[in-house]
Copies of this chain bind each other. A is one copy, B any other.
Amino acid sequence: MRFVVVGGDAAGMSAASRAKRKMPQAEITVFEQGYDVSYSACGMPYTIAEPERSMQELVVREARAFREKQGLDVQLGCRVEGLDPAAGRIFGTTTEGATFEREYDRVLLATGASAVRPEVPGFDLPGVEVLKSLEHGRRIKDYLARNRVHRAILVGMGYISLEMAESLRELGIEVAMVKPRPELLPWMDRSLAEKVQEELEENGVELYPGRSIRRIESRGGQLHLVCDEGELSGEFILVGTGVQPNSQLAANAGLELGPSGAIDVDRHLQSSDSKIYAAGDCADAYHVVTGDKTWIPLALWANRSGRAAGDNACGGNVRVQGVAGTSVFRVLGLEVATTGINAEQALEHGFDPAVVSIESRSRAHAHPGAKTIRVSMIGDRSSGRLLGAQMVGREGVAHRINAAAVALHARMNVEAFSQTDLAYAPPFGPVWDPLLTAANQMVKKLET
């Protein structure tokens, strides 16, 4: 069995490792266009924030270890440029310009996603960066070490940008955040998003939403972000305006893409060609709430879908449930978490959404140090189902959201969720967990 993996990051290496365990005699080759495999991409903002730490610490396992300890053939600097399903063959070019090709019995596309760069002039100037790969992380860390950066401009206000805002503030750098759309965190309940906005402003982060960005210019030793509404200047610009799936290789080979442009895969991670699997950020997934296809490129799914694809490529029969859209991030002193869908998405998918927003506390009555936790919960009036939850608070948010995520996988209705026996002790929350308080409110709302 010849199993070829295209892309050596989370999904690709999870697949290769799993395949080798499942079928030790298989010939498994991983082609990675860069020189890093298996690293913690999500850790980059935190490592950038600490001058004494090296980006290299984020490498979980080096290619050599995969070769020597797991018997995987890992080829670095090898860009796969074509896939011939009829011949069962991939081909490409190395960094040095040599060509290569390989025949496969099964192939996994784990080509990931790329940062989107706005199509306006100046986004390729020195000091203008994106943060997607470890190589980007190294460039940014190096740039910040070598240049006197007093002020950074972050274009985009997604969670990578928000995490980087925290890191840059920790480095003592002034931060201005700019985005074309008028709302901060548009997917969030407004009352929760406002808390994030307040936290940013209280920590000296300047916010410029609703700006029409025209170009970046380099003048007088500074970078200038020119918008219709005026100009912002600094020594470093980070572009975090989203990512897109690297599905061109698949499209060129005639594979079907889903509505988000990611590679369309079934519950066994098989593409429209049964010998070709796809997993991670380049492929789509079922959403456990809507049942529809979605594309939410996040780390756990990359690892999980890669692992399942590696299993299935070697004769396994792992059927994946999909994603609930669970995520958490920290921004300065706040934990921000979400799972499921919001009211707008619920409407788009034919639900009749009801929303409740409540305030609760992170510790029990009279327990010192309690902080406010805000919960927004989304339920369906027709079926009573829980559709999603969002939380913001200074503590006790990151792991609490998981209770709602599991309920979404179980397709629980809000009434059943409101009856769950969640943990209570005074240092950790009120008797009625904030999620239960929200669920109790929602039960009442759905009854009327």
Contact = CB atoms under 8 A, between A and B. Distances in A.
Contact of A405 (B60, B320, B421): B421
A246 interface: no
A22 to B, nearest CB: 11
A306 B295 CA distance: 44
Interface size class, chain A: 35 or more
A324 B323 CA distance: 26
A300 B421 contact: yes
A40 interface: yes
Nearest to A435: B402
Contacts of A429: 398-399
B337 A421 contact: no
Interface in A407-431: 407-410, 412, 416-417, 419-429, 431
A275 interface: no
Interface in A9-50: 10, 40, 42-43, 46-47, 50
Interface string A112-142: 0000000000000000000000000000000
A2 interface: no
A301 B412 CA distance: 20
A326 interface: yes
A433 interface: yes
A214 interface: no
B42 A426 contact: yes
A75 interface: no
Contacts of A335: 428
A326 B364 contact: no
A329 interface: yes
Given A40-B364, A303-B431, A431-B303, A402 B422 contact: yes
B399 A428 contact: yes
B402 A366 contact: no
A410 B405 CA distance: 12
B300 A43 contact: no
A61 B21 CA distance: 60
A57 interface: yes
A176 B248 CA distance: 68
A47 B421 contact: no
Nearest to A320: B419
A245 to B, nearest CB: 19
Nearest to A338: B423
Contacts of A403: 399, 402-403, 405-406
23 contacts: A10-B431, A40-B364, A42-B425, A46-B367, A46-B427, A50-B368, A57-B366, A300-B422, A321-B416, A321-B419, A337-B423, A339-B423, A399-B400, A399-B403, A402-B433, A402-B435, A405-B422, A406-B417, A407-B410, A409-B419, A409-B421, A410-B410, A410-B416
Interface of A: 10, 40, 42-43, 46-47, 50, 57-58, 60, 288, 298-301, 303-304, 320-330, 335, 337, 339, 364-368, 396, 398-410, 412, 416-417, 419-429, 431-433, 435-436
**3 closest Cβ pairs, A-B complex:** A410-B410, A402-B403, A398-B428
Given A323-B421, A327-B425, 11 more contacts: A40-B431, A47-B366, A50-B368, A322-B421, A328-B425, A339-B421, A399-B399, A402-B420, A402-B423, A403-B406, A410-B410
